[in-house]
Structure 1
Amino acid sequence: MPLDFGYADAGATRARRSQRNHLAGTSAEASVARRYLAAGYVQIACRWRGKGGEIDLVFADRGGGYVFVEVKTARDFDSALARISPRQVTRIHMAAQEFLGDCPAGLDSETRFDAALVDGQGRIEILEGALLGY
């Protein structure tokens, strides 16, 4: 009888966890998008990907500016915020520069970089301008 060390099952477990995380992230992004839309923003992109990286959500505000949003989920808001690293913020800024390159006002566009945190109960906390302090 062959010995089973559970390695085959470990791959399946990782795949399920990855799928669950993907679905949770997609759901959180949709919830955050609804919050911005209800506040009068216009959604421009979801999971916009450029050479510099990915931006979870991009909105236009009433004044013609752009809001770039990083969505993070965790059991509580502090844990979600802790998942945003300085390196990730740099990548988001690089991607935003690339995005703005195709906009009418280019890099002169008004911008804001928000962190949208979603806790384990689905509550949302939006920190406007939170991704500039790095």
Structure 2
Amino acid sequence: MTALATVKAYYTHFNNKNWQGMLDLLHPSVKHEANQGDTRVGKELFADFLAHMERCYDEQLTEIVFFAEPNNERVAVEFVVNGTYQSTDSDLPTATGQQYVLPAGAFLTVEDGQITRVTTYYNLPLWMKLVGA
């Protein structure tokens, strides 16, 4: 499977809330660089992150555009996050079911058919404004 096909499958699993499908595409030592916080290394920490996100947010991605480079190793993704803030996340504003639409992007590295890096970016101040902070 190409890097592009792997990443497309990853995001299809995301929109289907198939967390195990996402995890199955990750290398055991995946490096996860979220927009905020420390870098997580390993599938177990990524699974913890997914569980946390599922508790706090209900999200679907739309307007997904994939950009692949010719070496079949890296894929960039641009998308719009359509979400509901359903449970208060740590020190962020109180969740009351606020809905938001937020542009975002990600960069992924794929080696031997497994995703070895996921880096995600979005505008946190904009998200906070959208949820009424």
Q: TM-score, normalised by structure 2?
A: 0.33
Larger proportion of strand: 2
Structure of higher RCO (CA pairs closer than 8 Å, 6+ residues apart): 2
